Amino acid sequence: MKKISIIITFFLGILFFFFLAGYFPQLDIIDKNLKDSLMFFSYKYHGGDISVYKKLPVDPDKIFVIELDDDSYKSINEKYNEFENLSAQKRLAFTETLEFLIPHKPKIIMFDFTFEYNSYDDIDKKFLAAMHKAEKNGISVIVGSKLSFTDNFGKQEVIHNKPVFDITTGVLNQVFSGKLIREPVLLIKNNDEYIDSLAFSGFKKFIGNEKFEIIDNTLIAGDYKIPLITEKVNDNYILYKYNLFYRLSWEGIAAFPLSAFIDKKIMEDYKESFYRSEMINGELGKVSAFKNSIILAGTSSADDQDLVYYPFSDFGEGVVPGVHVHVNSVFGLINRSYFNDMSKKLFNFIIIILIILSMTLFYRSNALNGIIIFVFIIFVYLILNSMLFMKYSINTPVSISLLSLAFSFLIVQTHRFIFETKEKKQIRGAFSKYISPDLVNKIVDKPELLKLGGEEKELTILFSDVANFTTLSEKIGAVNLVKFLNEYLTAMTDIVMETSGTLDKYIGDAVMAFWGAPLDDEEHSQKACNAAILMMKKLNELKIEWKKKGYPDLNIRIGLNTGVVVVGNMGSFKRFNYTVMGDAVNLAARLEGLNKEYSTGIMVSEFTYEQNKDKFNFRFLDLVKVKGKTLPVAVYELLQNDVDEEFKKGLEVFNNAFEHYKKGEFRQAKELFLKVNDFIKDDSVSATFIKRCDMLVDSVPDEWNGVWKMTTK
């Protein structure tokens, strides 16, 4: 029954995904806003330097805007005031601008203006002559045109309003997504006629190829393959748009006011910007900034009402001149700065697999872990989606995916609540008569505790051992040895329990314990350190009684390490123990034995030290490679008592000595290690290093770095 209900929940999760995809296309606007954010982040992350993406056919520094701003209108009115017609004044200004630019040899000049009507014949002829002159000099000139729509007895007709000049044109019409222009129009098919946009017309001039074809929603022109968004308005009228990856903000576009080309006073202010200083044949020369550039002329005056919103507008750019969209569009086409929509079949397959995998994980974890997994999956999905978009220019729907995952999580938790409530009641009834209520509650909350398996957790592991235990057993006999072990192990075990530790096992006279499991404990390393100190203090108390019994004086060695281990029930299906395994466990065991090398009592790893250096007193001991390890570990002595001023001075001398020792300066190191005894009487640690210095002074190992390699356990 339960298996069937689980299969049904999986089916419902997948069904909900297809329901969202089929009946909620309005979710697309959420995805578009996300893509706007990613584009803006990508632009700002690279400091506006879009050239870092790849080697671009057209450098961003080679695209300019001639801006007809309010000051330019003022200059035009003052210079050409003998003409009352504003169109005539602007055409004279454009004529003079063209005459200025022709010697600079730009590649393309585009006008974000329509010239649908004549002004004065002589002025129009001058303007047309200037455009033809530019073309004769190898400069492509393109002017804008517009489409208008009429309703002829219920049938919409499209009229292409071309300019009065015989010159290459490009349509300026754009389509809004909400209030924004997101996907620029590439071209329009009206009946059997293809009408280029201004950007597409400029693009074709740039690549020197007027031919193109459309195959499977992909426009192919030369070696360019541009994915299209096809919008069929009616049987005769089709819009072809594309997903532009905007790479330029308005501030990132080099703009010149039109007045800079017609007013000599203003021109002087911009003259340095017209040229770039470069080394030519070993001499400093002036090179035109406009050479081989793409130039677009457009208006930024509010009176012209050509201010629009685009994807960066919601991130501080605000409204921008309409020419900005054409700049981005032609730049994006030339530099292949557009993105693909992932195919629906592939996307559906990926999401279905993701839903199945996530629901499986939700079922295998408790509610809290399920939330963590859910958040993690969403986080990873968003990261991968962002990388896919920003690095590989592939767009995938996000909102449908996240809502589907959220529904999958909700339905799994609902299903688990219904069935697990019943299971918990059965477990409580079965075990409450035989084991403690606390353990029953643990099993109810985590039934997996009854199964084999483990989990990775950061714990602190302790190993303790009686020094010279073999000698002790020979002296006191077998009967007394059993009494001794019972008394000693009971005392040590009580301390482990009192400090919230878990006793793992006894290995003869050795004790293995850990802190931080089965219940999570953020203070596991601190409690383990405290337990080690309490063990030493308890040992001193026991030694008084043992002395009365004639037992020889003895000491214990303790090793502590903090790290990630596997903790859980290990063994066979018939019999298992709750224990820990991993490299961190092995290191703790090695540290216990390493105490012998330095005649210390409690040795901790750098990992335990880092978490407790402000809570206890420590002494740096050495950098060592324990047997079986390749990386060195810093080890410290956990001090049992407070440190006085003399001891602190001794530690300073010791640390200074170690620095010389690490550099291979063994004679200087030995002198300082000897001096440590002036402050720390009979310092056994320094004695160890003095012996090493004597041994190493005449035979420094190759590539010495101060790390001591242990060859024994």
- Over residues 68-85, the pLDDT tens digits come to 999 999 999 999 988 888
Cβ atoms < 10 Å from Cβ of 207:
15
506 phi, psi to nearest 5 deg: -105, 135
Check whether residue 255 and residue 366 sit in a common domain: no
Q: 241 lies in a domain?
A: yes
Within a domain: 650: no
Report the alpha-carbon distance of residue 113 to residue 94 in Å, rounded.
11
Answer yes or no: do 122 and 9 share one domain: no
Regarding whether 459 and 412 lie in a shared domain, the answer is: no
Is there a domain that residue 653 lies in?
A: no
Quick one: 132 and 157 in the same domain?
A: yes
Same domain, 410 and 348: yes
DSSP bridge partners of 225: 220
Comparing 140 with 403, the larger pLDDT belongs to 140
- Cα 359 to Cα 311: distance, rounded to the nearest angstrom: 36
- Are 198 and 296 members of one domain? yes
- Is residue 177 within 8 Å of 183, Cβ to Cβ? yes
Neighbours of 65 (CB within 10 A): 24
86 and 196 in a single domain? The answer is: yes
How many domains does the chain fold into? 3
Question: Which residues are CB-contacts of 687 (< 8 A; sequence separation ≥ 6)?
Answer: 599
Please give the DSSP secondary-structure letter assigned to residue 177.
Answer: B
State which residues form the domain around 101: 54-334
Domain boundary among the residues 450, 477, 505 is at 450
Please check whether residues 34 and 152 belong to one and the same domain. no
Amino acid at 171: V
Both structure tokens of 194: 């293809």
Strand runs labelled E in 76-198: 108-114, 140-152, 155-161, 168-171, 185-190, 193-196
pLDDT(628) > 80: no
Residue-wise pLDDT tens digits, 118-134: 999 999 999 999 999 99
Mean pLDDT of 391-402: 80
Rg, the chain, Cα only: 40
Q: What are 657-665's contacts with CB under 8 Å, separation 24+?
A: 657/686, 657/689, 658/620, 658/622, 658/689, 658/706, 661/689, 661/692, 661/693, 661/706, 662/623, 662/705, 662/706, 663/706, 664/696, 664/700, 664/704
Give a yes or no: residue 459 inside a domain: yes
Q: Could you report the per-residue pLDDT of 336-388, keeping only the tens digit for each? A: 888 888 877 887 788 788 878 887 887 777 778 888 888 888 888 888 888 88
**Exposed, middle or buried by CB within 10 Å (0-12, 13-18, 19+), for 85?**
middle
Residues 277, 168 within the same domain? yes
160 shares a domain with 272: yes
Same domain, 279 and 396: no
Do you find a cis peptide bond into 518, omega within 30 degrees of 0? yes
Residue 666 within any structural domain of the chain: no
Last residue of a domain, one of 433, 450, 467: 450
| Cβ atoms of residues 14 and 355 within 8 Å | yes
**Residue 620 and residue 643 in contact, taking contact as beta carbons nearer than 8 Å:** no
CA distance 672 to 669: 5
533 within a domain of the structure (yes/no)? yes
Per-residue burial over 167-191, b if 16 or more Cβ lie within 10 Å, else e, is: bbbbbbbbeeeeebbbbbbbbbbbe
* Chain segment 565-576, per-residue pLDDT in tens: 988 767 655 555
| pLDDT score of 612 | 95
Judge whether 697 lies within some domain: no
Residue 698 lies in a domain: no
Question: What is the rounded CA–CA span in Å between residue 674 and residue 508?
Answer: 39
Q: At 365, which amino acid appears? A: S
Cβ–Cβ under 8 Å, residues 82 and 70: no
540 and 488 share one domain: yes
Q: In whole angstroms, how far apart are CA 652 and each of 94, 461, 679, 700?
A: 80, 30, 10, 25
CA distance 426 to 429: 5
576: CATH: 3.30.70.1230
3-state secondary structure of 278: strand
Q: What is the pLDDT of residue 247?
A: 82
Query: CB within 8 A of 146, min separation 6: which ones?
Result: 114, 116, 161, 171, 172, 173
Predicted confidence (pLDDT) per residue in 321-339, tens digit = 999 999 999 988 988 888 8
| pLDDT value of position 506 | 84
Measured CA distances, 219 to 150, 214, 244, 325 (Å): 29, 4, 14, 20
Contact, 246 vs 331, CB < 8 A? no
Higher local confidence (pLDDT), 704 or 571: 704
Report the pLDDT value the prediction gives residue 427, as an integer from 0 to 100: 47
Domain boundary among 334, 363, 383: 334
